[in-house]
Amino acid sequence: MEIYTAQTVVLPVYEPTIEPFQRAAAVIRAGGLVAFPTETVYGLGANALDAQAVARIFSAKQRPLSDPVIVHIAEIGQLAQVAINIPPAAYALAERFWAGALTLVLERAPHLPDNLATGLKTVAVRMPAHPVAQQLILQAGVPIAAPSANTFTRPSATRAEHVLEDLNGHVDIILDGGDTPIGIESTVIDMTQHPPVILRPGGIVLDALREIITEIQLMPRYIEENPENTPQSPGMLLKHYSPRAELLLFDGDRSNVLHAMRAAALDYRAENKRVGILTTNEEADHFTDTGARIISMGSRSDLDKIAQMLFGAMRALDKQNVDKILVAGTSKEGLGAAIWDRLLRAAEGKVRQA
């Protein structure tokens, strides 16, 4: 695949100025790529109605052509431009959770480019809440196709600097709106199945969704106790959200987990490996004398903060060239389901039971 090249320009959008948006919208309309903050993570955007522009997204990210891209809209009126036969349940969810971290998989409008939906009959649609994303879509006047703005398999980008790390020279403009508030991607729900199925846990949690549609199901792989021992459908547990270092995910009784992580850190140090530990304020003390680089993601009980910090912390440890990253699983409740999913995929599906 030929990789799309560009002269990347970073435009700060901390202040409500119109000029960067006009420039970025013109780039979108001309078939270029613009990275922009959403409330979840940064997106790598292109005109969703332009097949060539969409092809550039895949090329810039080195993303396999089999992985479909989410379309972002700014107003509910744009939904009918991209999807058809929209069920009432989808409108009910949209009314409650849009603009926000929820993506709905719907029947696709026939005029959308084939490469966007990778040949599927469906399209994933989201209305982001971030004012920069909204302003960009409105100014561009077209729906914007945007996957997360990282190279394929890398952790998603939660600040402009991460986008630059992965995509410098492959994106025309980066709108720098600072850190993304949620830090983890949207919840993806397949509305073409009955009952609707959560394909990816994310920023909107299961309990909140069930208040609107009680029968919503989580995909079975998110419920399995032992994902390592159950057969997976192809492509579902592919290496994803990964730091360059090998990530080791520990789970089980908490004191056993801390003990096992400490022992592993000391063993690796004895082999002269560089070790990074992703931990929390309450547990960081267990590791201070191991010689590991330690990053705390805040309080163990503050899942919002852990989600916000997670991808940036993985990237920060990579920058320190660690060989191994050790991390203890979080609670799997609420936002914990999404955090756990990202950790599990970063660990390539392997859990160390302590």
Those residues whose C-beta lies under 8 Å from the C-beta of residue 222, and which sit 6 or more positions away, are 198, 201, 337, 341
What is the per-residue binding string for Mg ion in 130-169, x denoting contact by CB under 5 A? ------------------x---------------------
Work out what residue 38 binds among ligand TXA, Mg ion, none; the CB cut-off runs from 5 to 8 Å by kind.
Answer: ligand TXA
List the interface residues with Mg ion, window 70-99 (CB under 5 A). Answer: none
Work out what residue 41 binds among Mg ion, ligand TXA, none; the CB cut-off runs from 5 to 8 Å by kind.
Answer: ligand TXA
CB of 195 to Mg ion, least distance (A): 25
How many residues lie near Mg ion (CB under 5 A)?
1
Nearest residue (beta carbon) to Mg ion: 148
Residue closer to ligand TXA, measured from CB, 50 or 185: 185
CB of 182 to ligand TXA, least distance (A): 8
Q: Which of 32, 256, 43 is nearest to 132 (CA)?
A: 43
CB of 206 to ligand TXA, least distance (A): 16
CB of 321 to ligand TXA, least distance (A): 26
CB of 14 to ligand TXA, least distance (A): 19
Q: Which of 142, 140, 170 is nearest to 35 (CA)?
A: 170
Instruction: State whether residue 293 is helix, strand or coil.
Output: strand
Residue closer to ligand TXA, measured from CB, 82 or 326: 82
Instruction: State whether residue 83 is helix, strand or coil.
Output: strand
Residue closer to ligand TXA, measured from CB, 261 or 343: 343
Residue closer to ligand TXA, measured from CB, 38 or 296: 38
Q: CA-to-CA distance for 143 and 75, rounded, in angstroms? A: 10
What does each C-alpha distance from 302 to 173, 209, 335, 336 come to in angstroms?
Answer: 34, 21, 10, 10
CB of 156 to ligand TXA, least distance (A): 6
CB of 47 to Mg ion, least distance (A): 19
Residue closer to ligand TXA, measured from CB, 163 or 248: 163
CB 249 within 8 A of CB 351: yes
Residue closer to Mg ion, measured from CB, 130 or 352: 130
Q: Which of 295, 251, 291 is nearest to 268 (CA)?
A: 291
- Applying CB under 6 A, the residues found at the interface with ligand TXA are 38, 40-41, 43, 67-70, 103, 105, 117, 120, 122-124, 126, 146-148, 185-186, 188, 199-200
CB 48 within 8 A of CB 143: yes
Residue closer to ligand TXA, measured from CB, 165 or 283: 165
Q: CA-to-CA distance for 244 and 224, rounded, in angstroms? A: 27
CB of 185 to Mg ion, least distance (A): 6
CB 75 within 8 A of CB 160: no
CB 170 within 8 A of CB 58: no
Considering the rule CB under 5 A, would residue 47 count as an interface residue with Mg ion? no
Q: Which of 5, 20, 127 is nearest to 78 (CA)?
A: 127
Q: CA-to-CA distance for 196 and 340, rounded, in angstroms? A: 21
Residue closer to Mg ion, measured from CB, 148 or 192: 148
Query: What token pair was written down for 224?
Result: 């399995």
Q: CA-to-CA distance for 262 and 354, rounded, in angstroms? A: 12
The residue ranges that bind Mg ion (CB under 5 A) are 148
